[in-house]
Structure 1
């Protein structure tokens, strides 16, 4: 009984300590395109098709060139988990199969968030995803928000 009380007390102290710590705010992930792309919005299935290599065209027929965040970036894991409920190991296996079969290639891997934004801002057919907090109005257009 005494041991159980000690464990309960320790758990309570840990929770209290954790609640007092500042947690980094997690932003909202958004899919972005170049404002000159002619694309105003995309559906979830269109984003899936573009980023998973099934159909790499925007609704207006323009060829889409997807850009990925680097593997160490936590937003990449959140993006694929939220979009298709797969972790990065599952995505790596998915791409290995498709590349081996010669079907398609994975998105271009950018070095960081700023590189994704730069690629999208300077290329009409580029598409990427970033935390909404990094989006500069007018430079890129948000076409999908990951719920």
Structure 2
């Protein structure tokens, strides 16, 4: 009986750990959508950010190619970003992209394997756009949109 009982505890424990990780991000600094300061973009609207990250727009307002970058699928910041941006959980975002990929209409954002890789891509790729907690923002990156809790 003991092994069966411990198996029943695993999903609630995992859910609790994910909730704590997500809460830790929510309690931290606000999430900001960031780009290289030299990209020529001062600010973006919520609709523009949604359209870029959901594959509806592939161009920035200045006409340059937009390269949206997500955190890794398992990173709690990705879940928090989409919850704040469009009110969707990771499963809903995966289903959304599965439909679009199947239809051949667009491709999902690139996924950085780490926060450091995202920062590197943002610093070196023109048109790259990602998201970070405000306390990770550094030169030459700049916030173009803030996601409130």
Do they superpose with TM above 0.5? yes
TM (normalized to structure 1)?
A: 0.81
Write the distance in 2 (CA, Å) between the matches of 1:28 and 1:114.
18
**Which one has a bigger Cα radius of gyration?**
1
- What are the residue-to-residue correspondences of 1:1-147 with 2, within 5 Å? 24=24, 25-136=27-138, 138-147=139-148
Q: May I ask how many residue pairs the two structures share in their alignment?
A: 124
Q: CA RMSD in A?
A: 1.2
In the TM superposition, structure 1's runs of 4+ consecutive aligned residues that sit over 6 Å from their partners are: none
TM (normalized to structure 2)?
A: 0.80
Gaps of 5+ in 2: 1-22
Alpha-carbon shift at residue 90 of structure 1 (Å): 0.3
Alpha-carbon shift at residue 104 of structure 1 (Å): 0.3
> Whose helix proportion is higher, 1 or 2?
2
- Give SS of 2:108's match: coil
- Give SS of 2:38's match: helix
Gaps of 5+ in 1: 1-22
